[in-house]
Amino acid sequence: MQSLRRRRVPAAGAALADELGVSLRTLYRDIAALKARGAEIEGEAGFGYVLKPGFAVPPLMFTIEEVEALALGASWVEGRADAALARAARDALGKIAAVLPEERAAAIAWPTLLAGAASAGEAERAALPLVRAALARERKLGFAYADKIGRETKRLVWPVALGFFDSSRMLAAWCETRQAFRHFRLDRMAQVEALEERLPKARRSLLREWRRAEGLEG
């Protein structure tokens, strides 16, 4: 399941079998067993396999390290995101802890891995919910932007992705003013407005183009 979940395109049976160290015959049998348990795996021998979204992993499949990673990630989000996203991180952990065995739930209640706080400033806290809304709804975003020496320009952008770093939050977007992909620090944004105008392209397409422009795809 984890091997299929990591992939976004169909995986050849031979590649899966090689990764898992099993024969093709065993792989086919295991895929049939997973389908019988409700996993929506599309494909067949010779064409590759892909896991459709929505199949839930039973809680007992989370290892202690996986639970610790989730708790650490949620703690990191709490210190760097807006109030709504921080609350969502806490709520998600609560839901996970409620269905975990006691020894695994303890890794959430009494974590051994802690993320130091690096709270967003006032400008970032104001901008972050609007930027996230524009990303989620695939809408254009307008704002005033100040460069590193304080010169301000008006920008109209197509949001692509939001990066969370220790010292800042950064928006990757196609900028209509510059006619190119640009990166904008949220702490330099003002008068942020999520517009009703839809993006001319799907955000996934923009994300692929941005990744190519940044040399992140082979």
For every residue of 80-122, DSSP letters joined together read TS-HHHHHHHHHHHHHHHHTS-HHHHHHHHS-S---------H
pLDDT of residue 55: 57
Q: What angle do CA 214, 9, 209 make, to 5 degrees?
A: 20
d(CA 141, CA 161): 12
d(CA 30, CA 25): 9
pLDDT of residue 53: 67
CA 83 remoteness from chain centre:
18
Q: What is the pTM of this model?
A: 0.65
First to last CA, the chain: 26
Query: Which residue ranges make up each domain of the chain?
Result: 2-51, 59-109, 122-213
Topology classification of domain 122-213? SH3 type barrels. (2.30.30)
Question: Does residue 161 have a pLDDT over 90?
Answer: yes
2 touches 51 (CB < 8 A): no
Q: What angle do CA 190, 133, 52 make, to 5 degrees?
A: 150
96-152, pLDDT tens digit by residue? 888 788 878 888 888 877 776 666 678 888 899 999 999 999 999 999 999 888 899
CATH class of 2-51: mainly alpha
15-72, pLDDT tens digit by residue? 888 888 888 888 888 888 888 777 778 876 667 888 876 655 554 567 888 888 998 9
Pick the closest to residue 17 from 36, 5, 35, 4 (CA basis).
4
